[in-house]
Amino acid sequence: MERFARLVTRRSVARVIVGAVAVLAAVSLQLSLQVEHDDDLLAFLPKGNAEVETFYGVNKRFGGLDLALVGLETEDVFAPDFVRALGATTRRLEELEGLAHVVSLSNVEDFSPDAEGGIVAGRLVDKIPPSLEERDALARRVLSRDQVVGNLVSEDGKAALIYCALAAGEDPRLMAGKVREAVRQELPATRLIEGGNPFISASIYDTTQRDMRTLTPWSVAVIVLILVVAFRNLLGSCLALVSTGVGILSALGAMSAAGESFNIVLGSMPVILFAIGSAYSIHILARYYAQPPGRDPAESVVETLVSVGPTVVAAGLTTIAGFASFLLMDIEPLQTFGRYTAIGIFVTLVLALTFIPAVIVLLDLKPREEAPETASELWGGLARWAQRRSAWVAGGLAVVICVTSLWVGRVDSRMDPKS
């Protein structure tokens, strides 16, 4: 480790490291902007499973896997204005590119016996009722069809349902937006109730992205606050954040280069990398700032890497192995999550051991003039207290283990799309 430390603290090598990191960040940023998004919930089905393959085979032959359901609430489904609007909506959806077929009250077929003993086929709703009597007759005819009531119209006649089957290979989230827009154009004042895989996928994806946009700034702010309080040095705090940010961009850039899509699980990856990846830079900077003041920065960096470097490497490799274990699962989105989170952790680990020391040497950052005594006294006192009462500490830990072990078997593991 000492030979490595003296290598990265050479000014010529430090310049190469900083330049390489700048190029890596620029390329990764460009690639990360090209990452496509995949919000298909069915991607979480295990690959290679015989039942799953049969499931996909049935859908490929007969369709119906991606079904967008649009519920319409109104005072009277059989009112002329609603029947007219429902017909216009159905026709607009039938013309929408990306839908294989559309079924509603307006186009569902009906079969009835004729006077000569044959069967008459036609539309269940063949015209807009011009009078109250014909409206009542239409309602009686529709509500007498068991296959329609509860599927296309509610029993009380106050809700209707439109089935929109997506064509094979269409983007569920994109098509969900198109279906919603088409229905809204014809029925702007009607309350819509959306269901089916396309709307569920779109809802989960949009909600996840909205939550991440809210959570990420707060997580970054908390990390910055901790760094500033711990180091009392804004430049050092920014240095830790920059190395972590490059790690996140590298993971996203690697995804783009490999043609991987950004799935629902990966929505949490940036926050996880901020929380975990920043730890390695923090360890290096914390030990560096604890070096005696007035010492040459290069020598302080060497001492820092020699003392804490092996521990940081061990911690990083353990974390990488933990995320890499996701590759053993048979669920592809979780494999993707483990693979690229491990890559992000690896990059942040390497940057903590190379980029951070290089910048310290090039900017000639000085250790703190005074070491913070409060934190050292606090944790030192806690350690001494634990040593003096080791039996009590061990006993308390044993009690916690015994109590919590009683509840381990009650953890429920299930897949519930509604959640």
Write the CB contacts of 414 (distance below 8 Å, at least 6 apart in sequence): none
CA dihedral 322→327→332→336, nearest 10 degrees, is 60
Per the CB < 8 A criterion, the answer to whether 268 and 331 are in contact is no
- 277 near 348, Cβ under 8 Å? yes
Q: Which residues, at least 6 apart from 285, have a Cβ–Cβ distance to it below 8 Å?
A: 231, 236, 239, 240, 356
Both structure tokens of 286: 């914390």
pLDDT computed for residue 39 by the predictor:
64
- Residue 231 has a pLDDT of 67
Q: Taking 70 as the threshold, does the pLDDT of residue 64 lie above it?
A: no
Residue 322: pLDDT band (50, 70, 90) is very high
Cβ neighbours around 148 below 10 Å, total? 16
Region 52-64 average pLDDT: 73
- pLDDT of 265 reads 77
pTM attached to this predicted model: 0.71
**Mean pLDDT within 323-344:** 89
Alpha-carbon distance 145 to 398, whole Å? Answer: 66
Section 68-93 average pLDDT: 92
Range in 103-112, 245-254, 349-358, 375-384 the model is least confident about: 375-384
Residue 401: pLDDT band (50, 70, 90) is: very high
Q: Residue with structure tokens 């036609």?
A: 122
pLDDT in tens, 356-375: 999 888 888 776 655 556 66
In angstroms, the CA 374 to CA 381 distance is 11
- Give mean pLDDT, residues 197-201: 83
| Strand 261-262, strand 36-37: pairing | parallel
The helix/strand/coil state of 274 is helix
Q: Mean per-residue pLDDT for 267-276?
A: 82
| Chain segment 281-320, per-residue pLDDT in tens | 888 888 888 787 777 888 888 888 998 899 999 999 999 9
More confident residue, 197 or 44: 197
Q: Which residue has the tokens 């430090």?
A: 14
